[in-house]
A and B are shown apart, each in its own frame.
Chain A
Amino acid sequence: MSRFAALVEVRLRPGIADPAGTTIERSLAALGFADVSGVRTGKAIRLEVEADDAAAARSRVEELCRRFLTNPVIEDALVSLEEQAR
């Protein structure tokens, strides 16, 4: 078994309103960042998981995302994995 560090990025699905992101984007021009656009907010969750290999670790974390960490009606998740040194 290996230990993997996972970073789960919970994102609002395309088309789901992100009023926080919109509000941030609206304020950018006043700060001189008129060249920045496409702001979307979400959540980042870090966790560790024991698994035989990276594929198994990813499959466990993705199941966790589907069943608990996201609400699939309005959210999806991007999972990044990194094997931890023993």
Chain B
Amino acid sequence: MSVTVGVVVFPGTNCEHDVVEAVARAGGEARTVWHADRRLTGVDAVVLPGGFAHGDYLRPGAIARFSPVMAAVEELARAGGPVVGICNGFQILTEAHLLPGALQKNRGLAFVCAPAELEVVTDRSVLTAGVAVGRRLRVPVNHFEGNFTCDPSTLAELVDQDRIVLRYVHNPNGSVADIAGISNEAGNVVGLMPHPERASDPLLGSEDGLVLLAALLASAGAPMASPRSGAPPVPSDGSGSGAFGAVAAAAT
């Protein structure tokens, strides 16, 4: 049985179909979840995709954080379920305090839309479990507020706890320590500015995003093999999708 990924759609989200398609190419199943839904039943992992949730009014992610679905997303995250925020999704995760720091406007006030060379910094996250540390991936970025910032003690914590997931080889936006993606302490919540779904087909110029999405599917299929335990990801035993669904449903 394949892994099912819930792709949350807020008003103004615009990358959900790309993520659904890319997850399928990576061997999983994905379905969209409307932001007003309070349940994530039957979902093994959640992706908050890119776009402009709630118009990015006030600040990117500031209002999306209060959408009804976020209570279930937080419950899934606290239960150890994989939660990945891409671009606007990363901004939402910081506003929801599921990840530290903030995404400020790019250095030089430049909107950046270009392929980015990324380096995998750790394999202790659901997005990079089983991926060789130091491996370089070519994945596009497309953002205005992607300049990750945090106070020095938070940065020290991210480094000490091995929570910097991906770094830019050539920093496109001024982010502190060249950070492209980070995780929570357990490694099951990951936010990144680059778009793996836009590097999922040879026609798009790169398939490197599938490496990350395949790692996510493997992590979701083997929730007990926490990336933090140091154990390699185990393929799904077929016991089923919805491993975290019951937990998330109970949260409502």
Contact = CB atoms under 8 A, between A and B. Distances in A.
A74 B149 contact: yes
B77 interface: no
A17 B102 contact: no
A20 B110 CA distance: 10
A20 B150 contact: no
B58 interface: yes
In this complex, the member of A12, A19, A22, A71 whose beta carbon has the largest number of chain B beta carbons within 10 angstroms is A71
Interface string A61-77: 00000001101011000
A23 interface: yes
Nearest to A73: B102
Nearest to A20: B109
Contacts of A19: 105-109
A16 interface: yes
In this complex, the member of A68, A69, A73 whose beta carbon has the largest number of chain B beta carbons within 10 angstroms is A73
B105 A71 contact: no
A23 B109 CA distance: 8
A10 to B, nearest CB: 9
Contacts of B58: 68-69
Interface in A30-80: 68-69, 71, 73-74
Nearest to B95: A71
Contacts of A69: 58
Given A71-B62, A73-B149, A73-B150, A17 B95 contact: no
In this complex, the member of A20, A23, A74 whose beta carbon has the largest number of chain B beta carbons within 10 angstroms is A74
Interface in B83-130: 94-95, 101-102, 104-109
Contacts of B62: 68, 71
Contact of A17 (B59, B104, B150): B104
B68 interface: no
A17 B101 contact: no
A22 B106 CA distance: 13
A-B CB proximity, top 3 nearest = A19-B109, A73-B102, A74-B102
Interface of A: 12, 16-17, 19-20, 22-23, 68-69, 71, 73-74
Given A16-B104, A68-B58, 8 more contacts: A17-B147, A19-B107, A23-B109, A71-B95, A73-B94, A73-B151, A74-B104, A74-B149
